[in-house]
């Protein structure tokens, strides 16, 4: 087999495994992503009454009120954009990670923790550029507190965003810098930690123990990445979500949004939505890495 054919086959397996990992992860973890976004969009407590059905005191309260006022299907609001985005997004993430890894070897015979971290950063930035328009539509849908049957369709929302604000930084590419910062930082920690630690912790011959080992490392990677990148995620939600006063852009830039949230709401506000984010990206991160590993090895055995 020629080198080009081998590389193409390897890339196809990476894309297939990455897409499968993303699809499985988003179906399982979407409700927690929605709760995270709702909590991040909620501004200072002074602007909301505790009797307001859309005032959320935490994860459980948010889920309870969503179920009561919007119905069970509300937990999957905005799922079509991530489903449409996740397969190519994760495919791009894992495939480009492998390519960036080769780029950042710096002459070493084997990858170092720095190689994994820089490759993760590159993959995260590439992923963010691809997925940002889907994120804008997703956040718009998630911020809609009407009953699910009254929420406009994904296509309607997309057309409306484009009609009103176009494709640029006020339209479908709103918050691109924040998405790049969020995804870049997360993937730098996520891939850097997972592959570095996986190389140090011995493998088990027992398949169950080996599955548990990968799951635990993947879970920890997702948690660490979530804790470190959460301020950028809050900024992204504020920029891409509805502004407090229609027609007036309060949250414009990434650094401006972070500074404004800190000034008006305090340091803890920069970590709004951390619990559902950790609850999603801890197990979600583990699911993705483990599904990717197993699907890739399955495809490798099947086609090689």
- Give per-10-residue mean pLDDT for the chain (304 aa): 69 78 80 82 61 79 87 80 74 86 88 95 94 88 74 84 87 93 96 91 89 91 94 93 83 93 93 86 84 84 75
Rounded to an integer, what distance in angstroms lies between the CA atom of residue 61 and that of residue 147?
17
Task: Give residue 49's pLDDT.
Answer: 61
Task: Give residue 236's pLDDT.
Answer: 94
> Six-digit token pair at 43?
């501004």
Cα separations in angstroms, 69 against 37, 88, 145: 17, 34, 9
Count of structural domains within the chain: 1
Closest CA to 158 of 84, 232, 89, 88: 84
Q: What would you report as the CA-atom Rg of the chain, rounded to the nearest whole angstrom? A: 20
The CATH number assigned to the domain holding 53 equals: 1.50.40.10
Question: Residue 171 sits in which domain range?
Answer: 3-303
Hey, what's the torsion of the CAs at 146, 152, 158, 164, to 10 degrees? -80
Task: Give residue 54's pLDDT.
Answer: 74
């Amino acid at each position: 087999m020629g080198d080009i054919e081998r590389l193409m086959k390897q890339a196809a397996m990476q894309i297939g495994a990455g897409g499968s990992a993303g699809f499985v992860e988003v179906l399982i973890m979407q409700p927690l992503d929605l709760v995270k976004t709702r909590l991040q969009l909620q501004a200072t407590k002074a602007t909301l009454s505790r009797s307001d059905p859309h005032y959320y005191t935490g994860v459980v309260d948010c889920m309870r009120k969503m179920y009561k006022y919007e119905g069970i299907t509300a937990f999957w609001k905005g799922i079509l954009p991530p489903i449409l985005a996740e397969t190519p997004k994760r495919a791009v993430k894992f495939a480009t990670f492998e390519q960036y890894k080769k780029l950042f070897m710096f002459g070493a015979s084997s990858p170092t923790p720095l190689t994994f971290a820089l490759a993760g950063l590159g993959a995260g930035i590439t992923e963010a550029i691809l997925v940002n328009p889907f994120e804008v539509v997703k956040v718009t849908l998630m911020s809609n507190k009407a009953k699910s049957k009254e929420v406009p369709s994904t296509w309607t929302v997309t057309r409306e965003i484009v009609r009103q604000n176009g494709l640029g930084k006020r339209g479908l590419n709103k918050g691109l810098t924040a998405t790049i910062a969020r995804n870049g930082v997360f993937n730098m920690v996520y891939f850097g930690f997972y592959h570095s630690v996986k190389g140090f912790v011995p493998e088990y011959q027992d398949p169950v123990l080996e599955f548990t080992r990968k799951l635990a490392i993947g879970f920890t990677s997702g948690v660490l990445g979530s804790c470190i990148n959460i301020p950028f995620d809050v900024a992204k939600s504020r920029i891409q979500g509805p502004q407090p006063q229609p027609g007036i852009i309060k949250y414009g830039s990434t650094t401006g949004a972070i500074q404004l949230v800190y000034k008006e709401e305090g340091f803890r506000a920069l970590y709004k939505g951390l619990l559902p984010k950790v609850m999603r990206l801890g197990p979600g991160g583990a699911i993705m890495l483990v599904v990717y590993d197993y699907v890739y090895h399955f495809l490798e055995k099947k086609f090689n």
